[in-house]
């Protein structure tokens, strides 16, 4: 994987307002640390999930993202299954202020 691939993915992710998008450098570092899973078609990342270290061997689940035109093919399931094989202690929480605001708006 190369930084350019992550940069292109981040550019596409930024079109989705509900996502808290991290810089491509940090996402590449997560992948190099085996804390993320990507699926590619050719040289393009089309699905991605990452974990963020919390404390000890606990991790927060980050964005689960699938390129729009590839949705409906169970690629999100594939990246989640793979990330769950890598780590056992994953918290499904949100530190994303956008999600917090969306939740507050619903109440």
Residue with tokens 């940069």: 7
pLDDT at position 94 is 64
Name 32's Cβ contacts closer than 8 Å, sequence gap at least 6: 1
In 3-state terms, what secondary structure has residue 40? strand
Of the candidates 75, 70, 79, the one whose C-alpha atom is nearest the C-alpha of residue 35 is: 79
Q: What is the pTM of this model?
A: 0.83
- What pLDDT shows up at residue 95? 64
Q: Provide, rounded to the nearest whole percent, the portion of the chain with pLDDT above 90.
A: 64
Query: Mean pLDDT across the chain, nearest whole number?
Result: 90
Phi-psi region of 7 (alpha: psi -120 to 50; beta: other; left: phi over 0): alpha
Q: Give pLDDT tens digits for 24-56.
A: 999 999 999 999 999 999 999 999 999 998 888
How many residues are given for the chain?
A: 107
What are the backbone angles phi and psi of residue 44, rounded to the nearest 5°?
-100, 135
């Amino acid at each position: 994987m190369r930084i350019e691939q992550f940069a292109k993915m981040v550019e596409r992710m930024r079109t989705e307002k509900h996502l808290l998008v991290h810089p491509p450098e940090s996402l590449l570092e997560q992948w190099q640390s085996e804390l993320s899973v990507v699926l590619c078609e050719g040289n393009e990342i089309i699905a991605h999930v990452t974990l963020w270290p919390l404390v000890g061997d606990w991790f927060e689940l980050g964005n689960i993202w699938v390129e729009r035109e590839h949705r409906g093919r169970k690629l999100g399931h594939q990246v989640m299954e793979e990330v769950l094989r890598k780590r056992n202690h994953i918290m499904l929480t949100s530190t994303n202020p956008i999600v917090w605001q969306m939740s507050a708006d619903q109440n």
